[in-house]
A and B are shown apart, each in its own frame.
Chain A
């Protein structure tokens, strides 16, 4: 989507290895989010950020950490990937956290 990019788009990794997903925005939005999408669950919030170095946990944060050292970048790290973390990960941005959400194209992560 215009103004928000995720990398990589696809990744296969082995159980126990660390993985970092990147979300980059050019909209200068304050809020950034990481969601995971699994069949039957819709999208579930992992972590979000409401400013540089300001982050908070979401509904399914166990096993994940995030960092935001610049307005434009929000990183999601799986310290030691597990098969249960196989999913499609979406990043989203919002002007004020209340409306105007824009989603990235997603990262398909497979942990084998």
Chain B
């Protein structure tokens, strides 16, 4: 089956710093999504981005489908950005998740 790899597995930042999270996938996909799981366990859909670039406030994402990777950028990080960030790829009716990047933003 398709492999989804995220890097880095863990990331610690000072408040105000910028970061880039990466997602590599092993096959062509119908769709790619980024999720944030907050410290209370809730999963929030950040971006639906099969290709191209999207921005939402301090967050933006870019997917290069032909090279099978996606990047999530977080600028001017805040403590509320802490949690685990997952990318997930959709093939047919199946959505496969990466293992996630755990982000800790320190005040």
Q: Footprint of B on A, CB under 8 Å?
A: 1, 31, 33, 35, 40-45, 48, 50, 56, 58-59, 88, 90, 97-103, 105-106
Q: Chain B contact residues (Cβ within 8 angstroms of A): what range? A: 20 to 34
User: Out of A42, A97, A103, which one reaches B98, CB within 8 Å?
Assistant: A42
Distance to closest chain B CB from A30 (angstroms):
10
Given contacts A56-B93, A97-B92, A98-B31, could you give 13 more A-B pairs where the C-beta distance is less than 8 Å? A42-B97, A42-B99, A43-B86, A45-B94, A59-B1, A88-B41, A99-B48, A101-B33, A103-B35, A103-B42, A103-B45, A105-B42, A106-B41
Q: Footprint of A on B, CB under 8 Å?
A: 1, 4, 30-31, 33, 35, 41-43, 45, 48, 86, 88, 90, 92-100
User: Out of A44, A100, A106, which one reaches B97, CB within 8 Å?
Assistant: A44
User: Out of B43, B90, B93, which one reaches A99, CB within 8 Å?
Assistant: B90
Interface of B is mostly: strand
Contact A1 B42 (CB under 8 A): yes
Contact A43 B97 (CB under 8 A): yes
Distance to closest chain A CB from B106 (angstroms):
22
Contact A48 B97 (CB under 8 A): no
A58 to B93, CA, bound (A): 9
Set of chain B residues within 8 Å of A59, measured between Cβ atoms? 1, 94, 96
Distance to closest chain A CB from B91 (angstroms):
10
A33, A40, A45, A50 interface centre (most CB from chain B within 10 Å): A45
A102 to B42, CA, bound (A): 10
A80 to B43, CA, bound (A): 28
The residue on B at minimum CB distance from A88 is: B41
Contact A50 B93 (CB under 8 A): yes
Contact B95 A33 (CB under 8 A): yes
Distance to closest chain A CB from B96 (angstroms):
7
User: Out of A33, A98, A105, which one reaches B30, CB within 8 Å?
Assistant: A98
